[in-house]
Amino acid sequence: MAKPLVVVIPHQIGRAEARRRIDARLGQGRDLVQKAGLTMQDPVWDGDTLAFVVGALGQTVSGIIAVEDEAARVEVRLPLLLGVFSGKVREVIAEKGGELLAA
């Protein structure tokens, strides 16, 4: 497995609001994943850290979102086979995450 892909998304809305927004969008994320023909296990919160697992092209993509006071740290572990998509994955996470956590 390759090094984790890490994206830090700064925000000014506080930890509780950031977590609330992420939690509120989980259903939409699941719908998008399924429409793309992928699978997603139920995400699990442990404190302010959300763990998720997505199945893509016969591979498992796992990661966490750690919600902090001024940023959300997204860490995604892509299998080597899917590593060629890391640039696009980083771009989408930064863009969509920034939109979600904008003040």
CA angle centred on 92, ends 17 and 89, rounded to 5°: 120
Gap between the Cα atoms of 83 and 44, Å rounded:
24
pLDDT, one tens digit per residue, over 6-33 is 999 999 999 999 999 999 998 777 777 7
The pTM score is 0.88
Sign of torsion over alpha carbons 33, 39, 41, 47:
negative
Specify the CATH number of the domain 5-101.
3.30.310
| Phi/psi of residue 64, nearest 5 degrees | -135, 155
**2: pLDDT confidence band, cut at 50, 70 and 90?**
low
